[in-house]
Amino acid sequence: MKPNQSSSEYAGIRQIASLFGKIAHKFGHVANRLNLMLYRMDFGQRDDDIYLVTFPKSGTTMMQVILYQLCTDGKGNMDFHHIYDVSPWVSNDAFLKRPVRDLPSPRIIKSHEHCRDYEKGTKGRFIYVYRNGMDVAVSLFNQNRNYNNPNLTFEKSFEKFMTRNKHNWFNHLKEWFRNTHKFPILYIRFEDLLNDKQGQISRIIDFLKLDVSNRAVERAIEFSSFDYMKSHEDKFGVQPPDLSRKVFDQFIRKGKSGEGEEVSSPDQKSEYQVKLEKTLGHYKDSFSLD
């Protein structure tokens, strides 16, 4: 504060600056939504589109690889630069203002969006992969610590996971399970992918009405394995905005379940179970720590 400014003048200026900051943030959010709407219009819809929907850190990339092999009948070469080249994350492409990708059908479209973000009557089919929430919380913590904040603690990360507003894991699952738009959806548990991948692949083939060879199934299992994906992490990892930088190498981390039980405290487990019961009701057994 300058010597000739009163404290009331200073406070007034701060309030005005804060107000304009909020307005700018709001308009920025609206602009992003409009850009996404326009991008989606350019991207278009097809009857055989496949929307792969997850909350982050729930097996998205593994399922992208499986679907890519199944939808190409095992002929899909894994020599792409990045998985987004063959299975785009449309909202991210819109945000980064990248050109609309011209892809053959069926298109495999990655999404972390809520069910309400899709208009009723959207063409195509949806595969929703979900994972135990405590394991998601641990995986999110590790990714945010590795990429954004090396001083982040699990306690702080878990608190945010539990207290985030409507854009949280609990509400994401609740919306997609309710499915008020009556989309055709195949629900797959991440844990079942780990324990019975071939069985889940059979469910996917039946749901999408695919005619695939045994070779396609074998390639889907091979290329979606933890060992393969970890050794080719540059094809799957988070891409920094500046693509000339090294691709992050901690995206494929462990590929297992049960860390939530190992890492969380009794109080955190209790808090999770209470919110699980309140938010997801009779769906809770799929995400319980018991």
pLDDT, residue 74, reads 84
For residues 15-40, give the mean pLDDT: 69
Q: Is the pLDDT of residue 124 over 90?
A: yes
- pTM value? 0.83
Percentage of residues of the chain with pLDDT beyond 90: 56
pLDDT, residue 3, reads 46
Q: Which residue has the higher pLDDT, 224 or 254?
A: 224
For residues 161-183, give the mean pLDDT: 90
Question: Could you give the C-alpha distances from 124 to 16, 44, 80, 182, in angstroms and in order?
Answer: 47, 11, 25, 12
Q: Is the pLDDT of residue 13 over 80?
A: no
Superfamily per CATH, domain 46-286: P-loop containing nucleotide triphosphate hydrolases (3.40.50.300)
For residues 236-258, give the mean pLDDT: 57
Q: How sure is the predictor about 70, in pLDDT bands with cuts at 50, 70 and 90?
A: very high
For residues 9-18, give the mean pLDDT: 65
Tens of pLDDT, residue by residue over 54-63, are 999 999 999 9
Averaged pLDDT of the chain: 85
Q: Calculate the CA dihedral of residues 21, 93, 160, 168 and round it to 10 degrees.
A: 110
Written in H, E and C, the secondary structure of the chain is CCCCCCHHHHHHHHHHHHHHHHHHHHHHHHHHHHHHHHHHHHHCCCCCCEEEEECCCCCHHHHHHHHHHHHCCCCCCCCCCCHHHCCCEHHHHHHCCCCCCCCCCCCEEEECCCHHHCCCCCCCEEEEEECCHHHHHHHHHHHHHHHCCCCCCHHHHHHHHHHCCCCCHHHHHHHHHHCCCCCCEEEEEHHHHHHCHHHHHHHHHHHHCCCCCHHHHHHHHHHCCHHHHHHCHHHCCCCCCCCCCCCCCCCCCCCCCCHHHHHCCHHHHHHHHHHHHHHHHHHHHHCCCC
Place of tokens 């405590």: 134
Q: Which residue has the higher pLDDT, 188 or 281?
A: 188
How far apart (Å, rounded) are the C-alpha atoms in residues 220 and 202?
11
Q: Is the pLDDT of residue 73 over 70?
A: yes
Tens of pLDDT, residue by residue over 80-119, are 889 999 999 999 898 888 999 999 999 999 999 999 999 9
For residues 279-289, give the mean pLDDT: 69
Tens of pLDDT, residue by residue over 263-275, are 899 999 999 999 9
27-31, 60-64, 139-143, 259-263: which has the highest mean pLDDT? 60-64
